[in-house]
Structure 1
Amino acid sequence: MTDHEHLTEQEMQAANTARFDFGAGYPFLPVPRETQVLYAQPDMSLRSLTMPPTLTADEVQAIDERLDASVRSTLGIPANSELSVSPTFSGGVALDRAFAAAMRMVDGQNSPLVHAVATTPSIDILRLFLEERGPRLNLHFVESRNGQLGWLDEDAIIDIVHAVRRVGRNDGIVVILTSPENPTGEFWREDALRGIGAACAGAGAVLIVDHAFLTAGVHVGRREIPRAWSALGVGGDWISTWDTGKTFGLNEDKLGFVISGSRRAAAAVDQALSIMQFDVSRRQKMFFGELLSGGRHTGYVTTLAEVCRTNLDTALRLSADAPLTVRAPRAGSVLLVRLNGHGPDDDEVRRYLLSHGVGVISGNVFFHTGWRPRDLLRIALARDPAYFAEGFEAMVDLLRAL
């Protein structure tokens, strides 16, 4: 092991070796009976393997339209609007292709340099794939306001957009807002999204908003997370992403979706996706078209939220006299805990816990500037409550013994 294992590597280590796996943000919960029934439908299996001309063009179009309508209904995207919804393989692919599309859009301005503005803390996949773009890309990471964890700073983002435009009049600008629910449990206010969107529009920048935890976590049924398509409206150069994985798990059976705010954005997204895919699996289209339709999934989503809230209560109770402090999330299905005292840093603690069967994530992997706390751990809440309670208690005992 090195001192620089990225998020996915840590999640895989927890999955492969830990008795109590609190690493991955995907739900590890029993699959509801109605979802199991969908997997076993013989007609779906047969139609997914039927080739043209036996499967007609009209039937293929009906499958696509069913999925589109189901996703729009689930996410509250207006039907028959200019907002387009494009499926892809996963949330990570959706975010990567959204950025590729944004780069195409700003390249149309003959930009000598592209500035990518993102937030920290945030998932490290963003930093990793931005760094792959090479020296033409200038990265700007915006820290939380006043160094307060989870205090999102839209003013700093807007200031950078304005400053870049003043200095580099022909430079391209892409602003990327990954889901702050991971890891801080916070979310963007609607007025903040509108302010950032207005600044981007005024500067000719493209805005990307990730909504990975929109339908998953402690907030569901209690508060609404503001959505890009509601805050930003139709016709703007913005792109948003959502995927099924953080809500349904399903052992990597998942789809990602790219939502485009304008026809120009939709054309760029189509071009970006066509480099990587001819299409996604027809069976996945049929499966998720059914799973997301007619309120079929709402009972499960409610149960997931209740499980996350139960496990948050358990974490708060078990940490009352423990050498850690729980930072209760307002949204999403992960939580941060702060290690109390002046002992080993988060990487050392993570490895110690993993060696004793408890898998967690080092908090420092989410930080990308000089501000990099080394006393945080991220823990997934979407686990069976009895399993979570036993594992969290084991973690507390191990930390006391450290």
Structure 2
Amino acid sequence: MELPLREELRGIQPYGAPQLDVPVALNVNENPYAPSEDVVADVARSVAEATRSLNRYPDREARALREALAAYLGHGVTADQVWAANGSNEVMLQLLQAFGGPGRTAVSFAPTYSMYPEYARDTATGWVVGHRAEDFSLDVEHAVSVVKEHRPTVVLLPSPNNPTGTALPPDTVGSLAAATAEVGGVLVIDEAYGEFRRAGTPSALELLSATPNLVVSRTMSKAFALAGARLGYLAASTEIVDALRVVRLPYHLSSVTQAVALAALRHSAELLGRVDDLRAERDRTVDWLRAQGHDVADSDANFALFGRFDDRHAVWQGLLDRGVLIRETGPDGWLRVSIGTPEEMAAFRAALVDVTGKGTP
């Protein structure tokens, strides 16, 4: 029989970057440094303790975790202003469930995170995409005009942007928040890579207390080296958090996930200790790529978008043939490389020189 699949899902392939067994995997912006043995031991103890009560449902409000996340974020954020879910993907989906839906519209500006239109599709929310400038910055006048024209209930803006790494200045966030408020919407600043910002680049958290329609989302996948735990969270007004509590599934965050995240937060200083190393390696990578004659977007994230290639797939395949996996994403002609260890980046440089036939590693 033919399944009654929604028409907009027919022929659609599931989202996902290639998961290949290669010597150097630099394609999904993971933190290359595994947790220390001290962190592993604390997580193991915490999971063992949680296991003793797995016959009971978890704290559906994740109160202890939200308190710890609020303390980590600072900026006067309270536990009632924090919400956590299974990765920032679920956080975003819940936002669209609460504030999107049939007859409503979400907006972003390309190039941007490729999952955003899928969140809109999955929640039957209309999707409108504006465009970024040639240097991947956001033209405020253009962005405000798109908001005023389409009157979205949700505006999604990553900062730093994925896949370009471009961060938004505070005045841009303020202007977009005001324009979105005028049409009755919420502005979501997705700071999945926020901890990797260059010195002097502020967080949108600084605007939160004075901007009631602002949401700032984060993840523990990147800077915390906790991609396998699937823990994302946001800070917003209590009214926004309460709306998400309405749409969240019962007991959506397992006892084990909460225990792992709390253990990681107890070791935040150690886990974040590698962020400076990754920032420095990113800056060296950007400088090297530019010295080889490549265009590179300014990056405040743990990756670099570079190009431009007449046949980017051939370059991607050439790197893969040499054991280096990066991401074929972003505008035509561009590729994205995650920042790895110095040894991994040396392998990337050598492979790219070999593939392109120019430069020195």
- Identify the TM-score tier after normalising by the shorter chain: 0.7 to 0.9
Residue identity opposite 2:234 in structure 1:
V
2:115 is the counterpart of 1:125: yes
The 5 A counterparts of 1:221-370 are: 222-227=199-204, 229-233=205-209, 236-250=212-226, 252-263=228-239, 265-274=240-249, 277-293=250-266, 296-314=267-285, 316-317=287-288, 320=291, 322=292, 324-329=294-299, 331-339=300-308, 343-344=310-311, 346-364=312-330
SS in 2 for 1:78: coil
Query: Which of 33, 45, 48 pairs up with 2:47?
Result: 45
- Maintained 8 Å contact 1:6/1:124: no
Over 3 Å counting, the alpha-carbon distance change for 1:56 and 1:335 in structure 2 is closer
Q: Is the 8 A contact 2:218 2:233 kept in 1?
A: yes
After TM superposition, give the deviation of residue 319 of structure 1 in Å: 5.7
Q: Residue type matched to 2:308 in 1?
A: L
Q: 1:214, CA displacement in angstroms?
A: 1.4
Letter of the structure 1 residue corresponding to residue 51 of structure 2: L
Q: Quote the Cα distance in structure 2 between the aligned partners of 1:17 and 1:70.
A: 36
With over 3 angstroms needed to count, the CA separation of the structure-2 counterparts of 1:206 and 1:311, relative to structure 1, is: closer
Q: What is residue 348 of structure 2 aligned with on the other side?
A: 391
Q: Distance in 1 between matches of 2:282 and 2:137?
A: 24
Match of 2:64 in 1: 66
Aligned partners of 2:51 and 2:139: how far apart in 1? 49
User: Which digits, 9 at most, give the CA deviation of each residue in 1:350-378, with x for residues without a partner?
Assistant: 233223322111233xxxxxxxx421110
Q: How does 1:138-287 map to 2 (within 5 A)?
A: 138-145=126-133, 148-165=134-151, 173-215=153-195, 217=196, 219=198, 222-227=199-204, 229-233=205-209, 236-250=212-226, 252-263=228-239, 265-274=240-249, 277-287=250-260
SS in 1 for 2:155: strand
**Kindly tell me: are residues 253 and 142 of structure 1, through their superposed partners in 2, closer, same or farther at Cα, counting changes over 3 Å?**
same
Deviation at 1:252, TM superposition (A): 1.0
Q: Kindly state the Cα deviation for residue 90 of structure 1 after the two structures are TM-superposed.
A: 0.8
TM-score (structure 1 length as normaliser) = 0.76
1:78 match: 76
SS in 1 for 2:40: helix
Contact persistence 2:86–2:230 (CA under 8 A): yes
Q: Cα distance, 1:232 vs. partner?
A: 3.8
Aligned residues of 2:108 and 2:130 also touching (Cα < 8 A): yes
5+ residue gaps, structure 1, are 105-111, 166-171, 365-372
**1:380 maps to what in 2?**
338
Given the superposition, is the C-alpha separation of residues 174 and 95 from structure 1 closer, same or farther in structure 2, using an over 3 Å criterion? same
1-side partners of 2:118 and 2:57: how far apart? 42
In the alignment, is the contact (CA less than 8 A) between 2:220 and 2:227 conserved in 1?
no
Whichever residue aligns with residue 90 of structure 2, its letter is V
Contact persistence 1:85–1:257 (CA under 8 A):
yes
Deviations 1:95-145 (A, max 9, x none): 1111211126xxxxxxx73222111111111122323444xx432212113
Could you tell me how far 1:7 is from its partner in structure 2? 10
1:88 and 2:78 aligned: no
Q: Which runs of 5+ in 2 are unaligned?
A: 1-10
Question: Number of aligned pairs?
Answer: 348
Of 20, 28, 33 in structure 2, the residue corresponding to residue 29 of structure 1 is: 33
Distance 1:394 1:164, change over 3 A: closer
- Relative to 1, partners in 2 of residues 1:400 and 1:324: Cα closer, same or farther, differing over 3 Å? farther
SS at match of 2:248: helix
Same amino acid, percent of matched pairs: 17
**Contact 1:238-1:262 within 8 A present in 2 as well:** no
